[in-house]
Amino acid sequence: MTIYFVLFYAFTDFNWQLGNYLGGNGLYVFWSNWRGVRSHLSTVLSFIIYNQISYQLFFQFFYRRQRRVLAVLLYLLAALPVMIGCRYLIQEVIAYHLWGSHNYSAAMRQPARYFMDNIYFAVYYSGFGVVFFFIQFSAYAQKCQSELLVQNRNAELSFLRSQINPHFLFNSLNNVYTLVYQASEKALPSIGKLSELLRYMLYEKEEFVPLLKELQYLRNFIDLQLMRYDFEPAIKVELDASGDQALKIAPLTLIPFVENAFKHGDLRDPNHPLLIRLYFIDNEMNFLVMNKVSSTNKDQTGGIGLENVSKRLSLIYGGAHHLNIDDDGRLFSVKLTLSLHE
């Protein structure tokens, strides 16, 4: 701050000198003699102390909201008189003791006149310290606000994700339980698939994972769902992973749409199979899920709902995604377009 103040003081002094010159008063060349140099340097030192006092005062008190009024009162009632007293001590006591000369005349050194003459300089030059503090305070407040927004966003994402995982686990356990109870030959493979699902849900903590990893998880989920049917489900899965192998996606992004289709879709109609399709157009990932709406398969266990899924996508991708949901009462479709990154 001291360097910035010296530059500010030099700029102010230059403007004052220029004003004098344009007004026909000539330039005050303070370095023309040793006395002028001493006076000017002691003045600069006094004003630097002004800045430090004002800056430290607001730094100590203003960060606490309940003490902000106190900071202003202390500045006006205590700091300004102290600043003026410091200048008097430096220039009229210490400098006089060292060099035998005063900066002010005897008449101007009278307390009342000295105070009134210096109140302007005290406010003006200490104001730089106040302004410097508020610039830092504003940057600090913005940083805190940004950190708070990030923390709130991460907390909300964690909450939404925590809603996803238990719901998948609940439905999957129900499916496995049914297969085990029926002594189905599909029971053991379903347990293996479930263990892979649990490993992904419990241990995948990255914000983004490779798309291929998410697709493998999606295939495991589909396989696990298909094991619970006692008929041949009408389903068509087209997962094109021919895009950039380095592309990443937020984990558990695709599953909720597929799970919703299994919950509420009619998989008995071969003319309207459950369609799960992923493809790329112009480096954008497109994910389509379409199913015939079932009139009987109404899962009452609930879930996070597509509204919350949409909110999670907005938090993560913002304008880099587009979600379109269409329900005409007969067919239900979801199309998600994502701009993925490496």
Could you tell me the residue ranges of all domains in the chain? 2-145, 204-338
What span, in angstroms and rounded, lies between the C-alpha atoms of 101 and 237?
A: 95
Q: Which residue has the tokens 């009619």?
A: 266
- Tens digits of residue pLDDT in 256-272: 899 889 888 999 999 99
Q: Are 86 and 40 in contact (CB under 8 A)?
A: no
- In the structure, what pLDDT confidence band is assigned to residue 287 with cuts at 50, 70 and 90? very high
Decide which of 257 and 43 is more confident. 257
CATH topology of domain 204-338: Heat Shock Protein 90 (3.30.565)
Find the mean pLDDT for residues 283-305: 74
pLDDT for the residue numbered 141: 80
Find the mean pLDDT for residues 172-176: 78
- Inform me whether the pLDDT recorded for 152 exceeds 80: no
- Inform me whether the pLDDT recorded for 278 exceeds 90: yes
- Inform me whether the pLDDT recorded for 28 exceeds 80: no
Q: Are 337 and 321 in contact (CB under 8 A)?
A: yes
Q: Which of 215, 260, 264 is nearest to 239 (CA)?
A: 215
Name the average pLDDT for the chain: 79
Q: Are 297 and 266 in contact (CB under 8 A)?
A: yes
What span, in angstroms and rounded, lies between the C-alpha atoms of 307 and 124?
A: 57
